[in-house]
Homo-oligomer: A and B are copies of this chain.
Amino acid sequence: MTSRMLEEARDAPARVAALLATDGDRYEALVARLCAAPPPFALTIARGSSDHAATYAATLLALEAGIVTASLPPSTITRYHAKLRLEGALALAISQSGAGPDLVMTLEAAAAAGALTVAIVNDVAAPLAQAAAFVLDQRAGPERSVAATKSFIASLVAAARLIALWRREPNLLAALDRLPERLAAASTMDWSEALDVLAPAASLYVVGRGLGLGIAAESALKLKETSALHAEALSAAELRHGPRAVIEPGFPVLIYALGDPASADAAALAEALVAAGQTCLIASARAGAGIRLPLPPPLHPLLDPIVAIQAFYPLAVALAEARGHDPDRPRGLHKVTTTL
């Protein structure tokens, strides 16, 4: 029987097509507001997978709009009640359920401090959407698997679409049109070679850099949730500052080597690790060092991370099953986490 998680991951291409075909007026209204008063900086408010979508959104904002983005720990508001200076800043909250009270309280505080509030949610009636001046609907459809897949993809796509419309990037807009087709191709990639490496593993690093860092973090979280595997995400640069000491035979490294300039460092790291005799799994559209996990041909540097994470999800499901876990029932977790 196919797991719910795999079914939902396979649903992503169709859901992305739906997202891209609707709500044009909502995006344009927000774009008009951003153009009228460009924010001096941005902050993101998110947890879990959505926080990794926020990492991706932060990279887009820096590269395409020159805007620096802080990942705001909700405890700043929920525990310390800090009086933040946020006049004119863009406060972007991301959440599938939109129900986490910590996120709602933090976004409300941002609004009260003068921020322009935006929520990317899958339930536009949720409290988080109510707290936002602008709401972008993930249009991912019901997601019942505890481990998010299509809603994560939808968050990235919503962020990319907003940037494309705001910055009037014709190449990015054209590439977005082709994204559903490329996501469908990603779903068929054969990553089964990774199963032999990861099924007996206890720990691994998942490495990305720049645009690839958010999906490395998302991959690591999925492996924790569904395979009870201690996967930690790191940037290729940070790995050289200490964490490398942990790598030895039996401690594999999964590396996202995409086509953008920072990912070149991830590819170079893969070569160095393979040369040192370590086990590397390399998600890449091109042949190179290590055990290759194939990706579809590049579409656009800003969108290739979305294609790559779609190629990863079937592996996460297969690995959970190979390790004797039910991917739909992670140990000790719930779909909506209520912390303050």
Taking Cβ atoms with an 8 Å cutoff, the residues of A that contact B are 38, 40-41, 43, 47-49, 51, 58-59, 62-63, 66-76, 79-80, 82-87, 89, 102, 147, 202-203, 209-210, 213, 221, 224-226, 228-230, 232, 235, 237-238, 240-248, 251, 260-262, 264-265, 276, 330-333, 337, 339-340
Contacts and interface: CB of A to CB of B under 8 A. Distances in A.
Given A209-B75, A230-B230, A224 B243 contact: yes
In the A-B complex, list the 5 residue pairs whose CB atoms are closest, starting with the nearest: A48-B241, A70-B70, A79-B262, A79-B261, A75-B262
B82 A63 contact: yes
Give this chain's copy count.
2
B40 A85 contact: yes
Contacts of A337: 240-241
A68 B48 contact: no
Nearest to A55: B73
Contacts of A224: 242-243, 245-246
A232 B230 contact: yes
Nearest to A83: B66
Contact of A80 (B47, B262, B331): B262
Contacts of A40: 40-41, 85, 87
B79 A242 contact: no
Contact of A68 (B70, B230, B235): B70
Nearest to A113: B66
A213 B58 CA distance: 21
Contacts of A72: 62, 68
Contacts of A102: 237
Given A245-B330, A251-B230, A330-B242, A237 B63 contact: no
Q: Which of A67, A69, A82 has the most CB of B within 10 A?
A: A82
Given A75-B209, A240-B337, A244-B333, 12 more contacts: A47-B238, A51-B238, A62-B76, A70-B71, A74-B237, A79-B262, A79-B264, A80-B260, A80-B261, A203-B203, A228-B246, A240-B339
Nearest to A226: B245
Contacts of A79: 209-210, 260-262, 264-265
Contacts of A228: 245-246, 248
A146 to B, nearest CB: 9
Contacts of A147: 242
B245 A333 contact: yes
Given A202-B202, A210-B75, A262-B79, A70 B41 contact: yes
A302 to B, nearest CB: 11
